Structure 1
């Protein structure tokens, strides 16, 4: 067989073998939020004197994350309003009342993502809907992808993120004391999510 025909056949064979490999990509991985190491911080103006901080915990939630294609990622989570910590028991009780968070009637704030934009290797923009006090509004959350790796003892694979958001409390029906409490609420999210064991089914995950 002429060398040119042999070379052509070899190239054709190699292309047939490599073509399927070119289309193979990692599928999104499911994670569940680590409720111990995931927290939400917020700050709001207090009569112009200061911007005190409050802290809330994630009650539950899942993350579908594709490290190669962020557009395939999604998340859903519940924030436990009853976990509120303003640093003072009486202050906590006041903020949890119906005039503010109304936690007895609506204990959880719920967030569901609608899309994810990747800006560079570590930064993105998460679009979604936040439901608070039974009211839902779209919000955008700029975030940093901190790290994907195993814990120090190698027991879990963890994905870590930091995010920020700005809310208008009036949008969610929190209109009390308009002249002493600010209307813009700054929010910070520090999130860790543990990769789900593929051998264990989880009905809350997608």
Structure 2
């Protein structure tokens, strides 16, 4: 029966744990690039059209290894006060308490709970979305576009595209039930910069 002398077991243990340590180290940390990341949504307006609005990511972090998604995780904050419907009066109407309630709940927050990998470039991220003080589970199909240095070599970037469908009633946005649709289509185009510290969690709007 094989045995290990007391003087040799640390080396054996280190050799056994090295692959695990290397795998963990490969999962890099990123912060969201708030300039090159965008969220666009669309909802029915009286059945005549589905106009678009845009929101900005306020900050957040991502942990991701392109070769092993098992440890992937993220948190991000969405600035509802950044709402842009293309018209100031329309922005104000959508920010009222019956809809986004931007003044009392300035930020929406998403925290992942798991990532389901479908193939090398497609998956589903599962998590909790908190919006207007209400938290609901959501699952978001996404595409991992690529990871690597920018054209000028200034940063290493990971890029993703995602789509989701949200029920506004589930988050307490029940106003204008007869004129505004209840299913909101959401598109996310995301870039994250490797190695930078995550943005601080935004405070509440004064």
Q: Same fold (TM over 0.5)?
A: yes
For residues 202 and 143 of structure 1, do their structure 2 counterparts lie closer, same or farther at Cα, with a shift above 3 Å needed?
Answer: closer
Residue of structure 2 in register with 1:25 after alignment: 23
Give the alignment's Cα RMSD to 1 decimal: 2.0
The separation in 2 between residues aligned to 1:85 and 1:203, in whole angstroms, is 22
Superposed counterparts of 1:1-206, under 5 Å: 24-25=22-23, 27=25, 28-197=27-196
Q: Is the alpha carbon distance of 1:19 and 1:44 closer, same or farther for their aligned partners in structure 2, counting shifts above 3 Å?
A: same
* Structure 1 spans left out of the alignment, 5+ residues: 1-17
SS of the residue corresponding to residue 56 of structure 1 reads strand
Query: Which of 1 and 2 has greater Rg?
Result: 1
* Deviation by residue 1:143-168 (Cα, 9 ceiling, x = unmatched): 00001011111010000000111100
Q: How has the CA–CA distance of structure 1 residues 83 and 147 changed in structure 2, closer, same or farther, with 3 Å as cutoff? A: same
How far off its partner does 1:22 sit?
5.7
Asked whether the 8 Å contact 1:40–1:187 carries over to 2, the reply is yes
Q: Figure out how many residues of one structure are paired with residues of the other and give that number.
A: 187
Contact 1:101/1:133 (CA < 8 Å) preserved in 2?
yes
Distance (Å, rounded) in 1 between the aligned partners of 2:198 and 2:192: 14
Give the secondary-structure state (helix, strand or coil) at the position aligned to 2:153: coil
Q: Which 5+ residue runs of structure 2 have no aligned equivalent?
A: 1-14, 202-206
Please report the TM-score for the alignment, with normalisation by the length of structure 2.
Answer: 0.85
Q: State the TM-score, normalized to the length of structure 1.
A: 0.85
